[in-house]
Chain A
Amino acid sequence: MSSDLYREQLLDHYHNPENFGVLPDADVDVEMDNPTCGDVVHMTARLDAEGRITAVMFEGQGCVVSMASASMFTEMAVGKTPEEVAAMGLADIEAMMGGVRLSMGRVKCATLPLNALKLGLKEAGKL
């Protein structure tokens, strides 16, 4: 009845997001928005002594694509180094979201959480 984008898996993350909230004592604290669509995401993350990401949380508002991507990304980013996050791109996000092919108009929504974390890592001096 519905396309790839609105299938159960993504809607579950949209309605019941993982790691929703603000991480206390975070090493990374960043907010990013897509002004043209009104999506906004606030990401917080903690890194261990070796510099690996140990926890990520997000809060924000936006469409199914941006919010589901943020929810899934908070799980995917754990265990990665900042360099590994920096090397990630659209293809990784599409794979993370179950192999969807995002239309041009939705790429910015889906990559917002990734881009936010990249910016946050840079601002925190981890990249």
Chain B
Amino acid sequence: MALDVEAIRREFPIFERKIHGKRLVFLDSAASSQKPRAVIAAMTRVYTHSYANVHRGLYALAEEATEAYEGARVKLARFINAPDPAEVIYVRNATEGLNLVAYSWGIEHIHAGDRIVITEMEHHANLVPWQQLALRQGAELAYVPVTNDGRLDLAALPPLLADGRTKLVACSVMSNVLGTLPPVTQVAELAHAAGALVVMDAAQAAPHQPVDVQALGPDFLAISGHKLCGPGMGILWGRGELLDAMPPFLYGGDMIRTVKRYQSKWNDLPHKFEAGTPPIAEAVGLGAAVDFLGAIGMEAIHAHEQELLAYALPRLAEVPGIHILGPGLGERGGVVSFWLEAAHPHDIAALLDEDGICIRAGHHCAQPLHERFGIPASARASFYLYNDKEDVDALVAGLHRVVKILGR
């Protein structure tokens, strides 16, 4: 294996516990990942040693807290190769980041008759904000379809850009259901050539592979920290000149320069978009998370998951009556969604739980995608740096047991 999983697991305290007396086999990192000691310790240290509100106090403790909070922003900027840390906005999660763009940029720039293009593989977080923006502004919403083998049908994009009405293209960097890694750089090139802006949802991609905003070419990119070993917060990256020109999303303290009785002036980036007391310890924890991942190496994590995928796919295919969604190796990340002829996804998840195996069952916040494949729900196993072949073996054995119990 590309990674020393034994050593990595020791960094995650949760693996010390048992589930129903069994070893914890955690295969739901696509929903939210587990947390390493480094992150827990960094947040504990803020609360036990350096906590005060940021950007306000004129005392040593407040300065320490501000330094740690802003220091994390520099780490996060480096993590995504952002040219300027001021372009990194702290948000609650990727969902809030995408909503920020929809409300702040969208309402000013999307008008009746304009078109927003998204893809059929979007998570609801990168679908509903655009759907509602289109409804509100009287714009058109169009979908780039997904092929039967779960790839993005890129040939369908240029016709949607041809008439110049498309103002925005929103696309996931990695599908949270299919695992698909669509050709987002090409999407961005095509969209930009047609004068449209590009929003990328990197919530699923960023924990598992290098994400370089300058190489991928989006105008906005959203990340969820809790999926990449960090706490419950996220970041939105945007091009400085776009963010500068946008109105604030939330109003209140810290986002202002001056407030008069009947008018206000806004603070500089990134603070213009960070109204109110921010998640201070969380930001520091997220900084610790990207330090932790960076030390292991995003390339190495990606290679490790590819290796697990190559091991898992043929073994899973041997489970009677299994249907695996998504493309083959080389075009996908470490997320495997499937359904069984013998069992409803809920029953699969409940029976695997008895073996200490955690997977997701449902529509994974991608209802239109499941509809496109004609299924109401699926089961999903997802890999991360702390998973190994033993976990895959446990999953496969568990699925054989499910088929034995529920098959007829």
Q: How far is the CB of B405 from chain A (nearest CB, A)?
A: 6
Whether the Cβ atoms of A106 and B408 lie closer than 8 Å is no
Docked complex Cα distance between A38 and B376 (Å)? 5
Q: Given known contacts A6-B351, A37-B377, A38-B377, is B346 in contact with A11 (CB within 8 Å)?
A: no
Residues of A within 8 A of B351 (CB): 2, 6
Whether the Cβ atoms of A37 and B406 lie closer than 8 Å is no
Stretch from A45-53, A62-70, A72-80, A83-91 at the B interface: A62-70
Q: How far is the CB of B342 from chain A (nearest CB, A)?
A: 11
Docked complex Cα distance between A1 and B85 (Å)? 55
**Of B345, B354, B405, B408, the contact of A37 (CB 8 Å cutoff):** B345
- Decide yes or no whether B244 CB sits under 8 A from chain A: no
Count B interface residues, CB 8 Å.
Answer: 18
Q: How far is the CB of B27 from chain A (nearest CB, A)?
A: 17
Contact with A along B353-393 (1 / 0, CB 8 A): 01000000111000100100001110000000000000000
Q: How far is the CB of A34 from chain B (nearest CB, A)?
A: 9
Residues of B within 8 A of A62 (CB): 344, 346
Pick from B361, B363, B376, B408 the residue with the most CB of A within 10 Å.
Answer: B376
Docked complex Cα distance between A65 and B361 (Å)? 14
Residues of B within 8 A of A64 (CB): 344, 346-347, 406
- Decide yes or no whether B269 CB sits under 8 A from chain A: no
Cβ-closest chain B residue relative to A40 = B376
Docked complex Cα distance between A118 and B355 (Å)? 37
Residues of B within 8 A of A61 (CB): 344, 376
Docked complex Cα distance between A124 and B301 (Å)? 58
Residues of A within 8 A of B24 (CB): none
Docked complex Cα distance between A50 and B57 (Å)? 75
Whether the Cβ atoms of A11 and B406 lie closer than 8 Å is yes
- Decide yes or no whether B350 CB sits under 8 A from chain A: yes
**Of A35, A40, A106, the contact of B350 (CB 8 Å cutoff):** A106
Q: Given known contacts A6-B405, A64-B406, is B367 in contact with A109 (CB within 8 Å)?
A: no
**Of A2, A15, A106, the contact of B346 (CB 8 Å cutoff):** A106
Cβ-closest chain A residue relative to B20 = A3
Docked complex Cα distance between A64 and B344 (Å)? 8
Residues of A within 8 A of B346 (CB): 37, 39, 62-65, 105-106, 109
Docked complex Cα distance between A105 and B346 (Å)? 9
Whether the Cβ atoms of A35 and B367 lie closer than 8 Å is yes
Count A interface residues, CB 8 Å.
Answer: 21
Q: How far is the CB of A48 from chain B (nearest CB, A)?
A: 35
Residues of A within 8 A of B370 (CB): 38
Cβ-closest chain A residue relative to B402 = A6
Q: How far is the CB of B289 from chain A (nearest CB, A)?
A: 28
Docked complex Cα distance between A65 and B208 (Å)? 35
Residues of A within 8 A of B344 (CB): 37-39, 61-64
Whether the Cβ atoms of B408 and A63 lie closer than 8 Å is no
Residues of A within 8 A of B347 (CB): 6, 63-65
**Of B345, B354, B361, B363, the contact of A2 (CB 8 Å cutoff):** B354
Whether the Cβ atoms of B354 and A3 lie closer than 8 Å is yes
Q: Given known contacts A6-B351, A63-B344, A106-B346, is B363 in contact with A36 (CB within 8 Å)?
A: yes
Whether the Cβ atoms of A37 and B350 lie closer than 8 Å is no
Whether the Cβ atoms of B362 and A36 lie closer than 8 Å is yes
Whether the Cβ atoms of B377 and A2 lie closer than 8 Å is no
Pick from A40, A61, A63, A109 the residue with the most CB of B within 10 Å.
Answer: A63
- Decide yes or no whether A5 CB sits under 8 A from chain B: yes
Docked complex Cα distance between A36 and B376 (Å)? 9
Q: How far is the CB of A46 from chain B (nearest CB, A)?
A: 29
Residues of A within 8 A of B408 (CB): 15
Restricting to A1-19, which residues have a CB under 8 Å from any CB of B?
Answer: 2-3, 5-6, 11, 14-15
Residues of A within 8 A of B345 (CB): 37-38, 63
Cβ-closest chain A residue relative to B367 = A35
Return 26 A-B CB contacts under 8 Å, by A number. Answer: A2-B354, A6-B347, A6-B350, A6-B405, A6-B406, A15-B408, A35-B363, A36-B363, A37-B345, A37-B361, A38-B345, A38-B370, A38-B375, A38-B376, A39-B346, A40-B376, A62-B346, A63-B344, A63-B345, A63-B347, A64-B346, A64-B347, A64-B406, A65-B346, A65-B347, A106-B350
The 5 A-B residue pairs with the shortest CB-CB distance in the complex, in nearest-first order = A38-B376, A63-B344, A63-B346, A38-B377, A63-B347
User: Which residues of B line the A interface, CB within 8 A?
Assistant: 344-347, 350-351, 354, 361-363, 367, 370, 375-377, 405-406, 408
- Taking A37-B362, A106-B346 as known contacts, 18 extra A-B pairs with beta carbons closer than 8 A to each other, sorted by chain A number, are A2-B354, A2-B405, A3-B354, A5-B350, A6-B405, A37-B346, A37-B361, A37-B377, A38-B370, A38-B375, A40-B376, A61-B344, A62-B346, A63-B344, A63-B347, A64-B344, A64-B406, A106-B350
